[in-house]
């Protein structure tokens, strides 16, 4: 399924999502790798099959390298774990847990196989999908430290928001007919 077909499959009540998806696919604030990596990472974070397939195909057609695709998927995987863990630390009122080592393997953070700023953008997008404020703060701090402009960070967050919303509509419509 193509991105155009995904947009066309959205019901009329989600026409704003379709327009946003099309606009973000054409946005120019991010590099092509950053943009399509954010799409892939967000799609894998949500995991809706139809959306994952359409975004994988669009990213492939846009020229996202296999290495960048793998790194975006790795961002979704490791942040899926980290977002649960660190969000829990934030939600638990006992501060002792924040002083304990995580003891979770996350080696991909040290060497993601793409520029660190790209991986940070993708990790921020996944953290937005998963609702982890602690991780969003950490990734935004790293991005600001690397002099990433706010509009670039916002673009990754917008991609995450639209992919999440599109995935929700696709899943809900599938449930309605099942």
Annotated catalytic residue 7: no
Listed residue (112, 111, 114, 142) closest to 32, CA to CA: 114
Catalytic residue (one of 132, 143, 157, 160): 132
Catalytic residue (one of 17, 68, 135, 159): 135
Helical residues (DSSP H) of the chain, grouped into ranges? 3-9, 15-25, 32-46, 49-61, 66-91, 116-130, 133-145, 150-177
Q: How many CB atoms lie within 10 A of CB 15?
A: 11
What are the angstrom distances between the C-alpha of 29 and each of 8, 25, 33, 114?
Answer: 25, 11, 11, 18
Output the six-digit token pair for 57. Answer: 């195909």
Listed residue (18, 9, 71, 17) closest to 40, CA to CA: 71
Q: How many CB atoms lie within 10 A of CB 72?
A: 35
Question: If you ran DSSP here, which 8-state letter would residue 108 be given?
Answer: G
- Looking at the annotation, which residues are catalytic? 132, 135
């Amino acid at each position: 399924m193509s991105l155009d077909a995904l947009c066309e499959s959205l019901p009329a009540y989600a026409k704003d999502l379709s327009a946003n998806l099309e606009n973000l696919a054409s946005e120019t604030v991010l590099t092509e790798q950053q943009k399509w990596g954010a799409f892939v990472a967000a799609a894998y974070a949500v995991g809706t099959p139809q959306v994952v397939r359409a975004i994988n195909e669009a990213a492939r057609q846009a020229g996202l390298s296999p290495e960048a695709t793998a790194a975006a998927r790795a961002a979704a995987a490791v942040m899926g774990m980290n977002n649960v863990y660190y969000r829990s630390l934030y939600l638990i009122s006992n501060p002792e847990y924040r002083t304990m080592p995580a003891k979770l393997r996350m080696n991909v953070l040290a060497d993601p196989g793409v520029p660190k700023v790209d991986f940070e953008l993708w990790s921020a997008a996944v953290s937005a999908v998963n609702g982890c404020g602690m991780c969003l703060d950490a990734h935004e701090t790293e991005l600001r430290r690397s002099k990433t402009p706010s509009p670039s960070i916002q673009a990754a967050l917008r991609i995450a928001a639209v992919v999440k919303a599109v995935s929700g509509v696709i899943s809900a419509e599938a449930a309605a007919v099942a």
